[in-house]
Amino acid sequence: MDVQPWQAETPGPRRALIAQAMRPAPVTDHWHEAARDLAGDAAAALNGLDLLEAENPRLEAAAIAVAIRELLAQEHATIAVITNDGALARRVTAALGRFG
């Protein structure tokens, strides 16, 4: 499988939302200001996204790994996991490793 850079052809509401979500902690106080700008496009930005709430980090990683496994069982499926949490990325990788 080839890995290709993820690029939206034109900046859109999803890109703006992701940019805000990935802000470094010291500047998250700007979220209130950004929320006003994003409010009109919130439905479009969130279309196709799912919310996952888990009781602990291990279950969170396991749920993400299961979702990845289910999606990749579909023909021509692609998936991206975007996180700035290195520990989460390692837990998801480990959980995927158990699936082979």
- Interatomic CA distance for residues 19 and 81, integer angstroms: 15
pLDDT of 1 higher than 70: no
How does pLDDT run across 2-55, given as a tens digit for each residue? 777 766 566 788 888 888 888 888 888 888 888 887 888 888 888 988 888 999
60-87 pLDDT, tens digit each: 999 999 999 999 999 998 888 888 899 9
pLDDT, residue 94, reads 95
Helices (H), 30-85: 31-38, 42-46, 57-72
Give residue 7's pLDDT. 67
- The residue type of 28 is T
**In a 3-state reduction of DSSP, which class is residue 6?**
coil
CB of 46 closer than 8 Å to CB of 17 = yes
